[in-house]
Structures are given as C-alpha cells and as structure tokens.
Structure 1
Amino acid sequence: MAQPLKIVSWNINSVRFRIEIVERFLREVCPDILCLQETKVIDGDFPAAPFRALGYDQILLHGQKMHHGVAILSRIPLVEDDRYDWQANMEARHVGVRLPNGVRLDNVYVPAGGDIPDRDANPKFGQKLDFIDRMTDWSTNLTTPTIITGDFNIAPLESDVWSHKQLLNTVSHTAIEIEALNRFKQSNDWVDLGRHFHPAPARLHTWWSYRSPDYTANDRGRRLDHMWATADVAAQAVSHTVFEDCRSWLKPSDHIPIMTEFAF
C-alpha cells in the first residue's frame, strides 16, 4: 500500500530568519510538499539550497521584498504554475500548482486586515474582504479537484479562538469576516479538513501572539491556518495534524505548521 501524501502549510514569518527550524521540521516530519506563507524575500534571494539538500527539488516561488511572499517546496513533481492577484495590487499572496494526479494545490496568504473592523475607517479591512470575495469568484467557477491551504487570517468558529466573547470585534473573528469565508466555503462544497478531523468544540489553535513571552501561560490562540479541499479530494484525506510544539522552538514563527495526509 502506498504511503499517504503529506502536505504541510506554515506561515513562517521570514524564511531566511527561520531557516533552521524549517530544516529541523523537514528532517523530523518529512512532508512531501511544504507550502510557506510570509516568506518575506524576493525570488532571487530565496534560500533554495537548504531545501534542495533535503530533497525538495521542486521550488515554486512568488516572492516580495520585506512583506508577504508564498512558496511551494516539493519532493514530488509538480506541473503548471499560476499566481492570482486576489489582492488586486500585485502583492505576492498566491501560488498554485497541479499534483501528478491532476489535483490542484493552491497556497494562499490572506491579508491580516489591520486592527479596525470597518472598511471605511480602515481600508486594509476592506481589502481583506475584497480578497476573499475574489477567491469566492474563482471558487465558484472551479471544476478541478482542489486543495487550498495557507494563512486565511480568519478563525471562523467560536471554538477557533481562546474567547469568542472577547474577540467578537477583533479582526480575524468578526461576523463580517466569518460571513465572507462562509460564502467562499459554500461556493464549491469545500471541506474544512482541520474541523473534519478535529470537530468543534475541540481546541485547535495555530497562532499565538508574540506579545506574550510564554504563549502557554494564557494560551490565547486562534485557528488562522487552514487546509480545505473540494469534497472529492477531502474523501481521500486520512489525517490532519497541528504541530504545536514548533511554537516553542528557537526563534519560532507566531504560527505553527499544519499537515494533512491524503491517500492518493
């Protein structure tokens, strides 16, 4: 029986600054494909050598200086390559490929949206909502079996945050963002694989602020990182894992890796 295909997503918050923990994770977990967000590097300066040394010869980049940036690193062949401008301002927030079996894999970094949940007072919040609407338009016309993963910057369920009541008006957990993400979900029968394998109200956090020196002391986490699949692909998923220990590694990202295994 073939081994499941392991796909990981991780907002690394600067791949060059955290390359040591990325290498450690790849050696310990050995995923087949790694999707990174917030790489913060132009394509020409991406640290490809450490990945190639570990067998990740397929490297697809959509980089940007100082901010944003996404990448897909793979030990298996990937075909095609597209970069959608769902931000509508040329920010590097998406890269998509096809797996050998024809399944699409889209790696996305949704904008955080600023601090004020009002598009008039805070244009960044409006840009975030418009980004999700453009994703939804794409999804509505999508006919290919697809996995979409990355930092969605939205925690949609009450149990996806440490306190639903206290975060109701906090960007990433507001009703308007959740409604936008739900419209996306309903546009193509998407399955939220994290909650498929860890149903609510189970605790399932993937992000903790740097503001707390010890994130475990108050555990004020949110589930901002997601892996979703169209129903035909989701039927082949066999597990979903969050690697919370990585939040305690040296020079950690504020996000942790998530991984889904597929029996392709």
Structure 2
Amino acid sequence: MAFYNLTKAERVKVVETIRTEVLCALQFRDFSKANFSFSHNDTYIRKAAYLAIGKIYLTHTDFHHAIISMLEEMQNSSDFKIRQTVINAAGEIGKVSFEQVQLIFERGLFDAHHSPRNAVIGSIKKMGEVNPVPVLKWAKEYLHHPDKEIRREICHGIELRGRKYPQDILPLLKELEFDKTVRVRNTLVHVLGQIAYKKGCLKTVVEHLKSWGNTQIVKEALAEIIDVHHRYRNFSALTQEEAKAFISISFPSMIS
C-alpha cells in the first residue's frame, strides 16, 4: 500500500521503522539493511529514508563517519533510485555541513540518470537557502563547465536562495549571460523571473541587470519578469502593471 494511503498512525509507524532500519545499518556497518527504503518505488518511503539520515546526522555525532561511508558506498549502486536517495540524504546533511558531502554532489552532477541529477538541483536549492556560503562557493566553480547540462543544473539549483536574497546569486547568474547554449539561457531567464516577484526583490534584480552586457538576455529576462508577475499574481509583491511601470523607468526602450 502506498505511503499516503496509510492512516496517519500507520505512517508514523512506517517512518519509525525506517529510522530503526537505518540506525541498525549504521550501527552494524551493514549498509545493505538500508537498501529496501532507499530503493523503494514509493517516493515517500525514500523521502522518509533520507529525512531519517538527516535527523540521525544531527542527533548522533558518533555516526557521522558511518553515515558518510554509507552514502558514498550506496552511491555506487546500479539502482538510480538508491543514488537519488543518497543525493537527497546528502542534501539534508549539507544544510549544516556541506563540506562533508561535497564529494557526493561532485559525483552526482555527472550521474548517468536524470533522477539523481535532478536530486542534485533540489538539494542545492534546499542547502543554498540555509547554508549559502559554502554551497554557492562550490556552485560557482561549475558555472563555466564544458558540459552544458552541468551549467544548467547549477543555474537552476541556486534559484531558491535568490527568492529571498537575489543579491547573493545575481553575480553568479551574470556569468552565464553570454552562454551559447539555448537550454542554459532559457534556464537563466527562468531563474531571473523566479527571483524577481517577491517583496523587495524586483528592485535588486532590475538594478543588477543594468550592469549586464547581453541586451537580448536582459530583454528576455524583463519580459519573463513581467509575465511572472501575472502568472504568480496571487503571490507577487506587485501587480503586473506596477512591475511593468517600475521596470520601464530603468529600461524604457525594452518595455512595450
């Protein structure tokens, strides 16, 4: 039965069982004991497993070495679901101690399957939101990587930090303004739109765009920002017309 088809009491019991299995795997250094929950077809079972790892890391300092060893070993699995869960577990740890899991992310960026790579994006988002300094420093190293998908994944991954603190990621985004890959440029424009509609963020984004040299990207970004203020009108700080009027002060020739 799927996780969310269970009653609340049954779900609590399942989560506790998974936590116990993970603890047992760590205690006896028998990491295969965690394979069932890490490879489960139900994404919520896998989520319970990686959340358990994060909580154990915080509460059991004596297991830190065993946890990292387990994740590094399981990242070699042929099952992409296990590798995906490993990345998500590393993301929970990276919220407080990114340096301990940096190698896992360096490997995950190049995973052959899209699911672990998507987990890297999601993990960068959640780590960057609360532990930005080491995460953004690491991300910056990949902004000019030869692989276009790596550049795109990093661009997408740093987005969440920018929704509250756009000034933290705008200098990194600027490094991609002349990227020659359409898929990377589209992600860049998307991220600029996503970080501009929250309270106080539009001014920061627009001011920074004044320093960009790629006029076409700036034009596309401004169009996306205006459109986002309509699409997310129930969540944006300004109405679409207010955003358009504000942008037109700095970029009158680009606003129709």
User: TM over 0.5, yes or no?
Assistant: no
Q: Normalising to structure 2: TM-score of the pair?
A: 0.33
Say which structure is richer in helix. 2
Say which structure is richer in strand. 1
Question: Larger RCO: Structure 1 or Structure 2 (Cα < 8 Å, ≥ 6 residues apart)?
Answer: 1
Bigger Rg, which one: 2
Q: Normalising to structure 1: TM-score of the pair?
A: 0.32
